Amino acid sequence: MTASVFDTVESNVRGYCRVWPTVFATASGSWLRDEAGREYLDFFAGAGALNYGHSNPVFKQALVDYILNDGIIHSLDMATTAKRGLLETLRDLVFVPRGLDYKVQFPGPTGANAVEAALKLARKITGRQTVLNFTNAFHGMSLGALSVTGNAAKRAAAGVPLPYTNPMPYDGFLGGEDELRWMRRALDDTSSGLDRPAAVIVETVQGEGGINLARVEWLRELAELCAARDILLIVDDVQMGCGRTGPFFSFEIAGITPDIVAMSKSIGGYGLPMALVLFKAEHDQWAPGEHNGTFRGNNPAFVTARVALEQYWSDDVLERAVLAKGERLAAGLAEIAAGCPGTTTRGRGLIHGLVFADPSHAGKVSQAAFELGLLVETSGSTNQVVKLMPPLTLSADELDHGLGLIGTAVAAVCG
Amino acid sequence: MTASVFDTVESNVRGYCRVWPTVFATASGSWLRDEAGREYLDFFAGAGALNYGHSNPVFKQALVDYILNDGIIHSLDMATTAKRGLLETLRDLVFVPRGLDYKVQFPGPTGANAVEAALKLARKITGRQTVLNFTNAFHGMSLGALSVTGNAAKRAAAGVPLPYTNPMPYDGFLGGEDELRWMRRALDDTSSGLDRPAAVIVETVQGEGGINLARVEWLRELAELCAARDILLIVDDVQMGCGRTGPFFSFEIAGITPDIVAMSKSIGGYGLPMALVLFKAEHDQWAPGEHNGTFRGNNPAFVTARVALEQYWSDDVLERAVLAKGERLAAGLAEIAAGCPGTTTRGRGLIHGLVFADPSHAGKVSQAAFELGLLVETSGSTNQVVKLMPPLTLSADELDHGLGLIGTAVAAVCG
Amino acid sequence: MTASVFDTVESNVRGYCRVWPTVFATASGSWLRDEAGREYLDFFAGAGALNYGHSNPVFKQALVDYILNDGIIHSLDMATTAKRGLLETLRDLVFVPRGLDYKVQFPGPTGANAVEAALKLARKITGRQTVLNFTNAFHGMSLGALSVTGNAAKRAAAGVPLPYTNPMPYDGFLGGEDELRWMRRALDDTSSGLDRPAAVIVETVQGEGGINLARVEWLRELAELCAARDILLIVDDVQMGCGRTGPFFSFEIAGITPDIVAMSKSIGGYGLPMALVLFKAEHDQWAPGEHNGTFRGNNPAFVTARVALEQYWSDDVLERAVLAKGERLAAGLAEIAAGCPGTTTRGRGLIHGLVFADPSHAGKVSQAAFELGLLVETSGSTNQVVKLMPPLTLSADELDHGLGLIGTAVAAVCG
Amino acid sequence: MTASVFDTVESNVRGYCRVWPTVFATASGSWLRDEAGREYLDFFAGAGALNYGHSNPVFKQALVDYILNDGIIHSLDMATTAKRGLLETLRDLVFVPRGLDYKVQFPGPTGANAVEAALKLARKITGRQTVLNFTNAFHGMSLGALSVTGNAAKRAAAGVPLPYTNPMPYDGFLGGEDELRWMRRALDDTSSGLDRPAAVIVETVQGEGGINLARVEWLRELAELCAARDILLIVDDVQMGCGRTGPFFSFEIAGITPDIVAMSKSIGGYGLPMALVLFKAEHDQWAPGEHNGTFRGNNPAFVTARVALEQYWSDDVLERAVLAKGERLAAGLAEIAAGCPGTTTRGRGLIHGLVFADPSHAGKVSQAAFELGLLVETSGSTNQVVKLMPPLTLSADELDHGLGLIGTAVAAVCG
């Protein structure tokens, strides 16, 4: 690109357009096209917001019909037919089958806003202030969400201290030797200096943090540890929910029931801004209007969110497909990693990472992949991980094609 | 409504659906319809997000076409053709005609997020931490935005202190006798205990705060006071921008150029989530990715935002219409107020308030209006103000019809 | 001084030794002597810790006897005969005659510690966090005390933000036009953004702040304002108590009864470290040991404190003498000020200030006075005030002698 | 005691007088006497402020002479002959023999104040805000010192959050398996969420925390960990310094040189309030007066502090005696513990703890000891430890006598 309006008018804060230097125009299924007509296979999926692919035709028609029929677009928290449809579908397809007695809050249409609301609610319920977060966590950029996020550069950008939180070692952070021991001991010694917390906030898989996986036993132990001490457990399922790891909620494999769940990204189905906070009915201590937000009633997203639940979560077809494709992805990556000494892989469902011994390799692989027509990004505290997160709906051929491109990119960098 | 899914599944936090107890289904122009087919004239306009009315046909077609053509829906901050179109239009129709050398940041699609980004940037630029805010201010519900918001109940819901800010009296708060004197003196005495601030954040008209108007001279003095002391001036134009008070930016009447401007609500045109942070090019000290957000690239809103600028801000037709209708509204309200002793009115452009001596009257008027088929909400610290904020595009007949309903409602309550 | 151990071993943080560059050896009454035998008349009085002069023979004998008899020196908060003597004397000579139902806390032997304890207690009693302080206030250097202190350089030395406090304009700060209006309005508007405070902390005369006097009516209005809103009133009488302004407590002239009073400096009588927190019995909500400190039982100071009360506060002789000498001091200063255009004076009892139009004059006068054999320091946010605070026990001749030296110094600087 | 002035006038906050319900009158050497003439052997030593015993005749004479000669009592930070004597003695007897290039700050006469100054200085030097503290730490009750103290009840008494600090596991807290691993990993991962700290503050033995001993290797590793990352190491030697563990500084056995050392308690020699902050000369970045305090120049304590150094720290007689008596104390306690199943002992020099399996036993032993004429207190997060801290100067007979009383008390409780 020569000096474009992006360079001259958009702020330096822009990021992805530097990694993928082209101008995108259209997208469908697992593919994006730039204005020159070049196609890119998407192993990025809108950072998790496009689990069902681009311009999914099922949603598209419902969305266009809703708009053409003058359906309510913007409603704050007024009752609308679109919201009713979503609430009923959530209840019938998500809560009832899983035995969840959850209430639903619409907190403003971003994951950060869902996290902000979750933190507020936990503090309100308990009357305590401290929230425990984990190393390498990512929960968003607004001041509350940032206070439980790990990245030092992003924290520094707040320009103020981020108090009332305390980081704890995530599963594996200390080499796997009982990372919860410190939390448990600190909570149980009244002179530890750790103020009694309102809540713990956790991702079951840390996407931005480098595809770090919490083991099932660790999640269970964390849930028990919290329950035994009257500390609320908040799961941030913004990126790992909606089937990314297989089941609808990423925490289902551990058989735990969080007190509060933050949802966003793919919950809207079509990539439209939407977020939810779910919590046990007993925790619904909000007063009317205590948390609000102008775009908390983004009805077009309610429509596509409902259709997404109906289409993909009435049965277990998608879940099984994700797990099957995930195994194929894992196997393919293992093979690729084997060809590049020191490289390891990890993942669950359709979120996987290629971890490089030399952190700079990850960025080079991402760059090489882009040139080959594949979008993959990096993550981790030193950007040492190539993060593979395709639409859940990609075909077997697309998966293989993507693996082939990754293999080529890795070979070029590692060779 | 009998016990509905809203009662059983949605959180207690819901608010507007209690004030307006019906289920809305469709909307167009200045009218909403509930599922029973009843129509409501809209003097609320999505709390300022629907300045151009509901389902505006100009935007609707562009939006549907974009969707049907598989335009990019979700792009984070990748470059897209839709974003380019918006940036060029902002530059050509908004910045250049007004002599503004502004950069544009896409901070996540809510006003709160725009405010969060603005506060971060101001702190980063100055290396200072304190931000001065004003009595009765409203800037949003995330922790940073809430820290500069005045409402005690909403502040308390944070569950933690909201530090690094300091409230100052807004124009008129002390009866109009030089409300800036305290700020000026405190800033100029190095032993005042007021830490040197990074920025001042202000609304030119406080909508949630009760339709409090800052006078032109006060805004100018505030801007000079900041400039002379190297303190950044942030205008939150989330609700008052996009022509609500007449001109595109609400601060234009004062001839000032804020360092940073937060925009949201009607900037997206069609009621879709979108937000912008605008700032002087010299202030663009962001590092890439330092502030981000999954839905910062909501391309459908970029499309309708662009069309809105083209349609309404290529000339001064809308601005003049707003001012003219505003005068008509003001006159009508003055007449109504005259019939209810102790009631006063205030406003600018198409944002006006009816202020009742007995605060409970405002809520009763709002309730009576709903029953008559008119949506108006209340605001102010004791909800003492009926807030009138119709779409800017309403017709003269609609305006008169609305005034008639308000008059009837006031008479019923006040009589 | 050539390079001495003060230069080579003591930290740069030392201050007074730079202003008064000599090595002091002994002191008695109103006079200090340096090791070269040079004498200095003391119009500084240990920054208020030596109201009864140096080495006051009444206290000296009691102190030496106590030490020689192996009286308990250090007792934390064990019961001792010395403490009992002090408590009984406080009760009989201070509380009972003034109708005060106060409890006594020994918080550690510094004014800052008394302020820390007062702030804790107020927050504990009310369950609120914010404390309102005043412009130009000085309450100490530990983190809590510093958070209610005004001086920007001293605040900056904390290296962290100083939250949970909010500065308010002191009497006269805005030119005398109802400085309490802002506090009152902000407290009474629930959307002001000022969080409901636990307490207000105030000095009746701001010594470090530049000898700023709160008027009796203002103090009364402040007390009423607090009482009507269930906000605790803390008077920091560390420097202005013990007769400095005439009566034992500086707030007596206003006829108010603070909820909490911080005392230190001259309360120990002989310049020995000691501090007290006094509060209404109903506020004694401390749990045992909730605030402590190793040196809170400095028994030698309890002995001299008791003797000081017996000697000086069994009748009103000292109080009347202070007021009389204060008038003489005021008259003398007025005359001196008259000879130096733009110079003004202010004060109460035996604390007075000479305020210079050119702030640098104050430091020069202090320097000239030192060379003439008189110790006076400067205060105020630009060090624009020469602060005159002799021992309350100085003789009329000493007062006149001091006034003469000040006159000479002012003439030298101003001429 | 019948209802005394302590009950009616002193605040509920008083503590020790409840544990030891008598009124003390005089004290000398290792003994206190109450007003009824009953004698108590002191295994408490003013919580560490009376290392050299009560009314030590060497100091007493020097102190009385100084007072009788009208020596300067109170000097803030003016230069005085008494301060010069102390600075020279510190230099010659403490710094030079140990090769320490330290500067000396007089921060106000309490340990908390020394800690406050140390934290400020570390933040100023580094420009960072976070300070790491340890589980079960005790550093004082003012807001800054409290923020690095572990005890939950004392922290809660602040009434506000205590931000800008982060607790870390102390040696042994996690069972001895590399407690520094968490700190090291969190510091070295830029996405850990632990903000880069200014300093670490540590006690080499935690007295209030329950006589927890940091091993020499752990202290060395901590020092190296800090040095390698440009983090300042602050040792709080308020209770463990001045020979309590044998050498003058408690950290000498580890061969480390802290960046900053806080001293108080026994530094004044005679139980008089005094405190010091020592730091490497390169760290002396204070501006004049940036930290101050009215009683920072408590000259009587300077005199006794100097004499204490001359008397006890010109040679290694005291140090060797402490170690020898410490061994005797340890052996005696081991024997006592052996008679009470589940009881363990730990200690260093003349600070030892008897740790009971049933925490309530410790308080009962303390109570029984008091009745037998021995003062010992409890410590630890559940008050499970009887803390033995006699004057360093006690005789062998007194040591044996005390051991005998403890044995009797333990037998009575445990039997």
Q: pLDDT value at position C164?
A: 97
Low-confidence stretches of chain D (pLDDT < 50) are 1
For residue B77, list chain A residues with Cβ-Cβ distance below 8 A.
Answer: 13-17
For residue A161, list chain C residues with Cβ-Cβ distance below 8 A.
Answer: 160-161
| ipTM for this model | 0.98
pLDDT, mean of residues A97-110 = 98
Q: pLDDT value at position B176?
A: 85
Q: pLDDT value at position B415?
A: 77
Taking the Cβ of residue B161 and every Cβ of chain D, the question of whether any pair is shorter than 8 Å is answered with yes
Q: pLDDT value at position D1?
A: 45
pTM exceeds cut of 0.90: yes
Reduced 3-state DSSP string for chain A? CCCCHHHHCECCCCCHHHHCCCEEEEEEECEEEECCCCEEEECCHHHHCCCCCECCHHHHHHHHHHHHCCECCECCCCEEHHHHHHHHHHHHHHHHHHCCCEEEECCCCCHHHHHHHHHHHHHHHHCCCEEEEECCCCCCCCHHHHHCCCCHHHHHCCCCCCCCEEEECCCCCCCCCCCHHHHHHHHHCCCCCCCCEEEEEECCEECCCCCEECCHHHHHHHHHHHHHCCCEEEEECCCCCCCCCCCCCHHHHHCCCCCEEEECHHHHCCCCCCCEEEEEHHHCCCCCCCCCCCCCCEHHHHHHHHHHHHHHCCCCHHHHHHHHHHHHHHHHHHHHHHCCCCCEEEEECCEEEEECCCHHHHHHHHHHHHHHCEECEEECCCCCEEEECCCCCCCHHHHHHHHHHHHHHHHHHHC
pLDDT, mean of residues B402-408 = 98
In DSSP terms, A39 is beta-bridged to A33
Q: Is the pLDDT of residue C2 over 60?
A: no
Taking the Cβ of residue D378 and every Cβ of chain A, the question of whether any pair is shorter than 8 Å is answered with no
Query: Among A380, A241, A252, A255, which Cα is nearest to A312's?
Result: A241
Neighbours of D295 (CB within 10 A): 35
Contact A201, A121 (CB under 8 A): no
Q: pLDDT value at position C162?
A: 97
C-alpha distance from A156 to closest chain C C-alpha (Å) = 14
pLDDT-above-90 percentage for chain C: 98
Taking the Cβ of residue C289 and every Cβ of chain A, the question of whether any pair is shorter than 8 Å is answered with no
- Taking the C-alpha atoms of residue C39 and residue C26, their distance in angstroms, rounded to an integer, is 10
The string of pLDDT tens digits covering residues C260-295 is 999 999 999 999 999 999 999 999 999 999 999 999
Taking the Cβ of residue B209 and every Cβ of chain C, the question of whether any pair is shorter than 8 Å is answered with yes
Q: pLDDT value at position C177?
A: 82
For residue C285, list chain D residues with Cβ-Cβ distance below 8 A.
Answer: 12
Mean pLDDT of chain B: 97
In whole angstroms, what separates CA C163 from the centre of its chain? 24
Taking the Cβ of residue B156 and every Cβ of chain D, the question of whether any pair is shorter than 8 Å is answered with no
C-alpha distance from D228 to closest chain C C-alpha (Å) = 23
Taking the Cβ of residue A295 and every Cβ of chain D, the question of whether any pair is shorter than 8 Å is answered with no
Q: Is the pLDDT of residue C1 over 70?
A: no
The string of pLDDT tens digits covering residues A42-53 is 999 999 999 999
Report the residue of C56, C61, C73 to disrupt the D interface, i.e. the one with the largest count of D CBs within 10 Å: C73
C-alpha distance from B86 to closest chain A C-alpha (Å) = 10
Chain D residue closest in CA terms to C78: D17
C-alpha distance from D137 to closest chain A C-alpha (Å) = 8
pLDDT, mean of residues A362-376 = 98
Query: Among B256, B264, B187, B201, which Cα is nearest to B232's?
Result: B201
> How confident is residue A415, by pLDDT bands cut at 50, 70 and 90?
confident
Mark which residues 395-414 of C lie under 8 Å from A by CB: none
| Chains with at least 3 CB pairs less than 8 angstroms from chain B | A, C, D
Q: Is the pLDDT of residue C3 over 90?
A: no
Local structure of B201: helix, strand or coil: strand
Taking the Cβ of residue D288 and every Cβ of chain B, the question of whether any pair is shorter than 8 Å is answered with no
Q: Is D177 within 8 Å of A174 when comparing Cβ atoms?
A: no
Mean pLDDT of chain A: 97
Report the residue of B31, B110, B126, B303 to disrupt the A interface, i.e. the one with the largest count of A CBs within 10 Å: B110
In DSSP terms, C386 is beta-bridged to C354, C378
pLDDT-above-70 percentage for chain C: 100
pLDDT, mean of residues B139-147 = 98
- For residue D120, CA distances in Å to D115, D265, D284 come to 9, 21, 12
Q: What is the arrangement of strands in the sheet containing D23-28, beginning at the earlier edge strand? A: C79-80, D23-28, D31-34, D39-42, D374-375
Q: pLDDT value at position C307?
A: 98
> How confident is residue B198, by pLDDT bands cut at 50, 70 and 90?
very high
Taking the Cβ of residue A349 and every Cβ of chain B, the question of whether any pair is shorter than 8 Å is answered with no
Q: Is the pLDDT of residue B2 over 70?
A: no
Length of chain C: 415
Taking the Cβ of residue A133 and every Cβ of chain D, the question of whether any pair is shorter than 8 Å is answered with yes
Q: pLDDT value at position A1?
A: 45
Q: Is B160 within 8 Å of D161 when comparing Cβ atoms?
A: yes
pLDDT, mean of residues B366-390 = 98
pLDDT, mean of residues C139-164 = 97
The string of pLDDT tens digits covering residues B317-331 is 999 999 999 999 999
Write down all domains in chain B, each with its CATH number in brackets.
5-56+317-414 (3.90.1150.10), 60-312 (3.40.640.10)
Taking the Cβ of residue A127 and every Cβ of chain D, the question of whether any pair is shorter than 8 Å is answered with no
For residue B160, list chain D residues with Cβ-Cβ distance below 8 A.
Answer: 161
Q: Is C284 within 8 Å of D72 when comparing Cβ atoms?
A: no
C-alpha distance from C129 to closest chain B C-alpha (Å) = 8
Q: Is B120 within 8 Å of A198 when comparing Cβ atoms?
A: no
For residue B134, list chain C residues with Cβ-Cβ distance below 8 A.
Answer: 193
